[in-house]
Amino acid sequence: MNGLGRQLRIVMSERPSGPLEPRHFRAERVPVPPRGADEVLIRAGYVSVAPHARAVMQGPTYRPQLAVGEVIPSSVVGEVVEAPEGGPTPGTVVAAANAGWQEYSLVPLSAVRPLPRIGPLSHHLGLLGLNGLTGYFGMRSVAEVRPGQTVLVSGAAGGVGHLAGQIARVDGARVIGITSSDAKSAVLVDQLGFAAAVNRTSGTFVEELRAACPEGVDVYFDNVGGTVSDAVLPLLTHRARVVLVGVTSHYDADQPAPPSAALPVQAIAKSLRLEGFLVRDFAERWGTALEDLRAMASHGQVKVLEDIRDGLEAAPSALVGMMSGGNLGQLAVQLRPDPADWPTG
Ligand SMILES: NC(=O)c1ccc[n+]([C@@H]2O[C@H](COP(=O)([O-])OP(=O)(O)OC[C@H]3O[C@@H](n4cnc5c(N)ncnc54)[C@H](OP(=O)(O)O)[C@@H]3O)[C@@H](O)[C@H]2O)c1
């Protein structure tokens, strides 16, 4: 027993078949489980809301398919309550990827990352968390963006996309974004330095995309797949690189969509290089990357967009909305106020 009593958590109540709805989730109060020998008990300050949560409700990803009754998986930023000897002391502020939508998560000690006292705390889920690292390694290590190239980002106003696009811009590329609204596109161009942004829901999307990329696309940083990627394929230049980051358009269905029939023909005809990756592939280099990301933000080269909702109960509707583009930037829910002495900027 840990003396913490009961906690609120959110589980999958029913496997969705078709678009996600709030009824696929259930909030419940259960005892906080006892800590295993190598586990750290974390009290959540923020939990992420990410498309991966929808993906595992559908089927296996890099982790097994979620079972009915299981907690929705997420990253967490919070305070250590209990840890094994030699681990972080209680009160240490940490991040961990393998947590969930619950007030208290048990995470293996090896997966817990103590955070430097650099604020705002929520940035450690986005810019200084998995999404910033995904944009960083996707652009710098997989795409190997070079100055003057045209880089196209799908899901460009999302948590990964808005950071990835800015990193490519810092590296000298001309960056184009794809979003689902003119308002989001305007933010990318007016506030984040994208050269152009195109609305995927426009009746003239394909024509607008071609006009925005008159020299073609050298790097396609793809967060969404599906019909958006079908529209991009003809624009790819000879030896273009396609960075396969996520397939958000496939997640909100009972079955993943089949791959595009046009892809092999285009890949052969243009000597394309397609490469998927998981941000954890680069775990040994996260430290340097986080320093670079922090420097880019503190020099004003990269701006952070966040969409933080209040309270764990807001998480299901936030994820439902995300599946139709309802977020701008990093989506998360806040469960507790930041520690009183945590820096704010
Ligand atoms: N490889 C890795 O290691 C790694 C790490 C982190 C995340 N990811 C992946 O990166 C992607 C982005 O994650 P995120 O957390 O930053 O999410 P996000 O981009 O903030 O949110 C998802 C966005 O996808 C777009 N979208 C939703 N349904 C769509 C559809 N049917 N067709 C096209 N676009 C649709 C929406 O933007 P618009 O409506 O504005 O287009 C929505 O805002 C996800 O696929 C995620 O799984 C991969």
pLDDT of residue 1: 53
Residue 33: count other Cβ atoms within 10 Å of its Cβ. Answer: 16
Mutate to test the pocket of ligand 1, among 54, 61, 142, 180 (most ligand atoms within 8 A of CB): 180
For atom 6 of ligand 1, the residue with the nearest CA is: 131
Break the chain into its structural domains and give their ranges.
6-126+305-334, 130-280
130-280 adopts what CATH topology? Rossmann fold (3.40.50)
Reported as a single tens digit per residue, the pLDDT across 47-57 is 999 999 999 99
- Give CB contacts under 8 A, 24+ apart, made by 64-68: 66/12, 67/12, 68/11, 68/12, 68/13, 68/14, 68/15
Among residues 325, 322, 297, 313, the alpha carbon closest in space to that of 122 is found at: 297
Buried b or exposed e, range 71-95, using 16+ CB within 10 angstroms: bbbbbbbbbbbbbeeebbeeebbbb
Strands 330-334 and 39-48: antiparallel
Q: Ligand 1 — pocket residues by CB below 6 A?
A: 50-52, 130-131, 134, 155, 157-161, 179-180, 184, 200, 223-224, 226, 228, 245-246, 248-249, 277-279, 322-323, 325, 327, 331
Class of 6-126+305-334 in CATH: alpha beta
pLDDT of residue 236: 98
Residue 98 has pLDDT above 70, yes or no: yes
Q: What is the distance in A from the centroid of ligand 1 to the CA of 93?
A: 27
For atom 2 of ligand 1, the residue with the nearest CA is: 278
Average pLDDT over residues 24-43: 96
In DSSP notation, 107-166 reads EEGGGEEEPPS-S-GGGGTTTTSHHHHHHHHIIIIII---TT-EEEESSTTBHHHHHHHH
For atom 32 of ligand 1, the residue with the nearest CA is: 249
CA distance 119 to 266: 45
For atom 18 of ligand 1, the residue with the nearest CA is: 158
Average pLDDT over residues 143-149: 97
Q: What is the distance in A from the centroid of ligand 1 to the CA of 71?
A: 21
Question: What rounded mean pLDDT belongs to the chain?
Answer: 96
Ligand 1 atom, smallest distance to 248 CA: 45
pTM of the model: 0.97
3-state helix, strand, coil split of the chain in percent (to 5) is: 35, 30, 40
pLDDT of residue 253: 86
Reported as a single tens digit per residue, the pLDDT across 195-204 is 999 999 999 9
